[in-house]
Chains A and B, each alone.
Chain A
Amino acid sequence: MSEIVTMPQLGETVTEGTILRWLVAVGDEVKEDDPILEISTDKVDTEVPSPFSGKVTSLLVEEGETVEVGASLLELNGDASSSVVDEKIPNDIDSFDEPTQEIVEEIKVEESASSPVIKSSNIKLSPVVRKIVSENNLDLAQITGTGSDGRITRKDVEAYMASGNVAKKQSIDTAVQKEVKQKEQPKATTGEISRLRRRIAENMVMSKQTSAHVMTSVEVDYENVEMLRSKHKKSFKEDNGFSLTYLPFISLATIYALREHPVVNSSFDLDKEIHSIHSHINLGIAVDLNQEGLLVGTMREADSFSLKGLARKISDTSIKLREGSYELDDVSGSTFTISNNGSFNSFLTSPIINQPNVAILSTESVKKRPVVIEAQDGTDSIAIRHTGLLSLTWDHRVFDGSIALLFLNSIKEKLENSDWSQELA
């Protein structure tokens, strides 16, 4: 009896995926759970395990093709002895609001672009769009289709070109190659750009071309946090198995500040003239993948977590991302992002906004520095305090400097004055 393996849903916001590579061929015997193909979505490249055992009798989609969830992928003429593939994917995260639509669209475009732009058999491009894209060497992934079924129309291409944010495929490739060359100076080599690197490159350039980046920073006295941290450091590690860093404190303060300034927790689409203020705070944390890439882990509804919960969530997310054992929902849908550059001993950073967020916070290194303290009687003295900068890159299209500084100072105020001892008790 034949069995059909269908396109799994790799997260609840996913509606389709691109077949990256077949790991089996017709005639192969596969066992249940054997990897049979690689699927690509927005930021996830994942292997799909076979839900059945049997002999592969037919591959129903080609590499590079993008198909909808539930589409037939492969036919096995063997014994059905296992559950359906969907059960492999936990759907235990509750739905959330506005970001959904945006992410879906983003994913669609990304997937489309993963196959060769012009040759793709399942993207309907009209002759004129093919011509313009080809002549200008445009990256279709950057163009939002407004035609029926999301088809990219001539108008879409022209609007994209007129926006001035034109990312040419060639120029990005060149830039990345240059960067690679510089890194590996001793031995000049050229190599292919990894999918992740490509995505990062495209997203970074796209963000720079989308938002009006402005960086503003404040200095924070972390003495209040440091006192708590040093007090609970040891027991915390023993209880939880991981260290208590500055990041959970900064995250919590940020969450509080975001509640006070909801405009910072929003998405902004100028083309569609939609500004979405999000009801939940899905906090993104940039996680460095051991210098082999960067992913933003998303802590959904982070505003419902305690300090401890937040600390755990941050730790878990980092591990998941570094191990590559994450689902799409773990790396999508953030409404605000923190980039923890302090952990690499930064002084001041101007991060790029994680689209479609409107701001990104960079934590800078915390160090003991001499600080002038003014006593209540007005006398000055020099003290040694733990201080560090917090810098915020924000989108000047969405709000202005006052909000950026009110927001930053709100974080600063909470970090310097909040009493979080109960949280750690």
Chain B
Amino acid sequence: MIMINYLVNRMDFQMASFITSGLLVIIGLYGVFFVDNVLKKIIALEILGSGVNLALIAIGYNGGTIPIKLPGVSVEVFAKESAYPLTHALVLTNIVIEASMLAVMLGVSIILYKKYKTLRSSVILKED
């Protein structure tokens, strides 16, 4: 109980996000390389991508102030206290790209499934 209390007090939102991000990346990599199912591999890729996105959001985190400048707020205060929006831009871009990649991969998976009648990647992705 003491240890849990210690960890909770030590860990802020940003650090917790980084840890979660790391876990997601590891889970994603495990899924891509060790799971013998094309659909699950693709899901693992999404988990991997989400981990990276979370890392980016956490990097931009700065105490929770959203990066929208309101009237009356000085530029200096705004720059010092708001979250860094460049990381958000990267995440938005990455989400779009991931969605495109996902659509194409699923489409091709359907084509190959019709041919092989299985989703086992050791069959579908086997090199000739």
Partners in one complex: no
Residues of B within 8 A of A (CB): none
